[in-house]
């Protein structure tokens, strides 16, 4: 079915927004070591992108399609970053460097069940203390609020951590990344698949 001429740029724009949103999330998930989510997003990304680029190439004589493609690309990156911040998946390391006493900060962090490591060091102006903790990204606002409360004006840096184990982490609710109906289908199918594989293996013996 041929699409109306006025609808083609809109569909290209919408498809490219979706494709680049998914692409941005995929790149972020790859950098954080999500071995399942990243390939899954890659599948949907390329399917949507093929539609967008296909419609653009079929309408090379329509300059509005080029503008729609470019705008969708731009907005898709922006939406991808916003969604990543909203989901806040993964962990991060927070380093605080200060010349003031850090006892109160350490006590408050440990009282909130955050694992803390403190070391003495030398900075540009003399002796300093470095406080480090690895937290879930959803807990960053809480940690930064404690830093601002007990060490106002102190330098701190936040970096993403690809993986961490055997640490001390307070409980945090996990985001529901996979839609609930899809999760129910997966839970129903996986036991059946395991039974089928077991039966096949027994028959081969």
Specify the CATH number for the domain of residue 127. Answer: 3.30.70.120
- Taking the C-alpha atoms of residue 166 and residue 161, their distance in angstroms, rounded to an integer, is 14
Of 118, 116, 115, 111, whose CA–CA distance to 97 is shortest?
118
- Domains of the chain: total: 2
167 located within any domain = no
How long, in residues, is the chain?
Answer: 205
Considering only CA atoms, which of 181, 131, 188 is closest in space to residue 154?
A: 131
Q: Are residues 137 and 118 in the same domain?
A: yes
Model confidence at 95, pLDDT cuts 50, 70, 90, reads very high
Per-residue pLDDT tens for 178-205? 445 445 544 554 555 445 545 544 555 5
Is residue 57's pLDDT more than 80?
Answer: yes
* Angle CA 13–17–21, to nearest 5: 170
* pTM exceeds 0.75: no
Enter the tokens of residue 65: 């399609």
The verdict on 108 and 65 lying in the same domain is no
Is 95 in the same domain as 145?
Answer: yes
Task: Name the nearest CA neighbour of 98 among 28, 146, 153.
Answer: 153
Torsion of the alpha carbons at 85, 87, 90 and 94, rounded to the nearest 10: 40
Tell me, yes or no, whether 97 and 50 share the same domain: no
Do residues 55 and 115 make contact, with C-beta atoms less than 8 angstroms apart? Answer: no
- Indicate if 127 and 111 belong to the same structural domain: yes
């Amino acid at each position: 079915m041929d699409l109306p001429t006025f609808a083609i740029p809109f569909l290209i724009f919408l498809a490219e927004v979706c494709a680049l949103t998914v692409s941005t999330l995929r790149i972020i998930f790859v950098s954080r070591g999500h071995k399942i989510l990243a390939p899954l997003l890659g599948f949907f990304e390329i399917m949507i992108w093929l539609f967008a680029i296909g419609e653009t190439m079929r309408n090379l004589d329509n300059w509005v399609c080029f503008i729609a493609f470019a705008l969708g690309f731009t907005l898709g990156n922006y939406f991808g970053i916003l969604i990543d911040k909203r989901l806040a998946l993964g962990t991060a390391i927070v380093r605080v460097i200060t010349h003031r006493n850090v006892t109160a900060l350490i006590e408050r962090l440990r009282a909130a069940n955050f694992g803390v490591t403190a070391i003495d060091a030398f900075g540009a102006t003399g002796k300093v203390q470095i406080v480090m903790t690895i937290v879930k990204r959803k807990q960053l606002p809480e940690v930064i609020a404690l830093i601002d409360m007990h060490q106002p004006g102190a330098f701190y840096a936040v970096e993403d951590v690809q993986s961490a184990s055997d640490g001390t982490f307070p409980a945090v609710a996990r985001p529901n990344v996979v839609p609930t109906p899809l999760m129910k289908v997966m839970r129903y199918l996986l036991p059946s698949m395991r039974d089928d594989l077991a039966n096949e293996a027994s028959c081969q013996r």
